[in-house]
Every structure is written in C-alpha cells, then in structure tokens.
Structure 1
C-alpha cells in the first residue's frame, strides 16, 4: 500500500499528500490493543446447530487473519521495537471483579459487547506470542478506549511519548475508539493496517478509511519499519 494516498474517504479526495513523519524512538510507543485469548477461542463446529455454524463460518476469515496476519506481524513489530529500546505498551479488556460490576455500560449490553473477562481468567490474558516482557506496561480497561478506560494518557505523557503506533482488535471498535481518544489528546497516531483486524474485511477497511488522515495515519508494517529504520 501507499500510506500517503490509500484509505482516503470522501473528505480527503484531492487533498495534498501528507508530509513525511519523523518518529523519534524516545518519543514513540507501540500500543497493542486487546489481542486476547478470548478472541481465539472457538467451539467445535460439528457440535453447533445449522444457524450457529453459519455464524461460525462468517467469523472464519477473522480468525484466519488473526493467526496468519495480525499476530505474526505484531510479534515482529514488538521484537523490532524491543531491540531498539522503544516503549511497548499493552491494553486488554479485563474486569477487576468476578461479576464485572464495574464494567462500562457498553460492555454490559446484551449480545456481542457483553464482555465479562475477569482479570485472572485465561480468556482475558494476552495471547502468548504477544505477551508483555520485562517491565512493559499493561493497562486494564472495561471500556473500548484504552485511554478513556485507564491512566494510559498520564503514563504516556510522563514517559515523554508523543507518537503512538496502534495495533490490535477490533479495528472498528477498541482500536478506533483508542485512536480517536489519542488524537483528541494531541498524540500523533499511526495505525498499522496489517496488524489490525475487524469482524469482517469490509468493516476493517471501511473503518481505516474513516479514521485515516483526521485521527491517524494508516500504513502497513513494511512502511512503518522503513520509515523508522527498524
């Protein structure tokens, strides 16, 4: 892809190409959002009803992207950031209480967003390939935005971070919400296209088009690595 011209919405048709971005290592952090065991867990398809199998099949492309694209690409970025002593930060959805009584309203509604993930349960843990190392910061949230739902803004500011590189799931939900919050707090935000995933490719690409150029710059991991010399 070409980050300067791709993912343009109607608002930015004909707009000039953005300037090159300088991402100083000491002012930059990689933020990996909500890549947790719960999103890898799947039932045995043969045990499901016909209706449940249809929903299962709709989610298969997401799971394939998660395992074959998002996780390996993000693991590579983490390794490169770590080898250059660039901050790596992790966010996860997890409740401090067993019954999740402190969850935000959006995480209590029936259906997809009814997220009860007690902090010590296997489901709430970050997937092993992307697990935090050493003293890397992990923020726990019960909101979509990692900034709104934690003290992340304070932590980033105290570390002198001005640029946040975002990866994770879901592109159109927690990633997007976090990106918008970061932008509103005047952080310079990069979203790495091939380190994110949504429930469908259509949702993934449409959300990137919506947030690109106003809340962030969207680019591939190859473009990011070339830009930063990683």
Structure 2
C-alpha cells in the first residue's frame, strides 16, 4: 500500500510501500471523539464565545470543514458500521461533578482547553446527527485521551477489539492523544483524515503527518470503508 504523499513523514519517506492493514471487521470498532454540541454547533457554546470576543472569522474555516466534510463523513462511517453490525464507540469530554473538580489539571487550566461540561449538560452531548444509539458505548473523559483515566481500553479488550477507526476533533489534541494511547496499548489504529479537524489545516495536516505509519494508518473515509468491505464475510 502506497503512503499518501501528503502524510509521508521523514521517518518513512524512503520506504516506498507499506503493508495494507489486516482488518477483521468483527474485531474492529469505530471511535468518534468529542463531536459534541459545545464544539460543533455554530449557534452555541464556543462559537458564541468566539463571536463575542471578535474572533469568529478565524474559526469559520474550522466550522466550514466540520459542517461540509467532517460531520458528513462521520455519518457515512456510522451508517456503514451500523449496517454491518460492527462496534460503535464514543469518547466525549464530560465531568461528573457540576463544579468540574473531577477534571484533569489540563482541563482546569486557563485558556482554550479550560472546559466545564457536566455529563448531563447540553454542551456535553454528541451532536444530533451523530448521536449514539442503544448498545453503542459512550465513554466520559476529563482528559484529552479517551484511553487515559477511563475504562475504554478494558472495554475494548473485553469485546475482543483489535483495530480502532478514530475520527473527531481536534486532530492535534484529543484525537492525537487517543491514537497514541491506542497504539501503545497494542491496538491497530486507522485515523480517518477527512473525518477529523483541527483549529487550522496546518495543525491538522502536521499532526497526521507525524502520526502516520508510526502510530496509525492515515486513510480517507472511502478508503477505510473499502478496506473493511474487502474483509466482510
């Protein structure tokens, strides 16, 4: 399999082709990261804060990518996984205490990462288009990684999952932390490049280039579906 030149990093630039990931659909899970009302909606949450602070213009490309590319591709992946009775999981930022004292220090810190989203709040819910269905696992996290500080890895092990297809926001923070932790735990990881977004395309592309081949296979939505489809029985 040829590595996408866009995401070919220094360590592998002379390698040529790599082996195509070996996928067992019965042991593969989809993981949607942080596609929540707080971050995705244009008329709620962070978007309103950006508008009030006079920073909205800076964030329009991010929201355009979410609306036009990321959300539709996540829905496409969701529909595919559900139609083929494959595991669907979610990781979302949500604290158990109203005052947020159970959050990790990084999520209590001042600045962009300071998020107070109690578990039952509207802010914490996944957007309607991508809302979980019955029997789909939702893991609440107060850390960047879905794996760190949660029982997510234990759940995957109990279900016999070997490969995780990761999507969501933002690519260079919660998505990247999760991909690395999954890889370190011995799981195969596919990070779906057109189902993720970062604050800027520069950050998005740079993070995917860093992670590709080392921690995950960076693939498109269509290529991911085609890869899994070839292994369906």
TM-score by length of 1: 0.93
Residue in 2 aligned with 1:74? Answer: 74
Deviations 1:16-58 (A, max 9, x none): 311112211111000000000001232298x74xxx32x2111
Report the secondary structure of 1:124's partner residue.
coil
Q: Does 1:187 align with 2:178?
A: no
In structure 2, relative to structure 1, the CA distance for the partners of 1:32 and 1:44 (3 Å cut) is closer
Residue in 1 aligned with 2:203? Answer: 203
- Calculate the aligned-residue CA RMSD, in Å: 1.5
Count of residue pairs brought into register by the alignment: 224
Following the alignment from structure 2 to structure 1, what is the Cα–Cα distance between the partners of residues 140 and 97?
12
Residue in 1 aligned with 2:218? Answer: 218
Quote how far apart the aligned CAs of 1:75 are: 0.6
Q: Is the 8 A contact 2:34 2:126 kept in 1?
A: yes
TM-score by length of 2: 0.92
Q: Which runs of 5+ in 2 are unaligned?
A: none
Residue in 1 aligned with 2:104? Answer: 104
Q: Does 1:43 align with 2:44?
A: no
Q: Is the 8 A contact 1:3 1:220 kept in 2?
A: no
Residue in 2 aligned with 1:89? Answer: 89
Quote how far apart the aligned CAs of 1:4 are: 4.9
In structure 2, relative to structure 1, the CA distance for the partners of 1:202 and 1:147 (3 Å cut) is same
Greater Cα shift, 17-26 or 105-114: 17-26
Greater Cα shift, 128-137 or 7-16: 7-16
Following the alignment from structure 1 to structure 2, what is the Cα–Cα distance between the partners of residues 64 and 5?
25
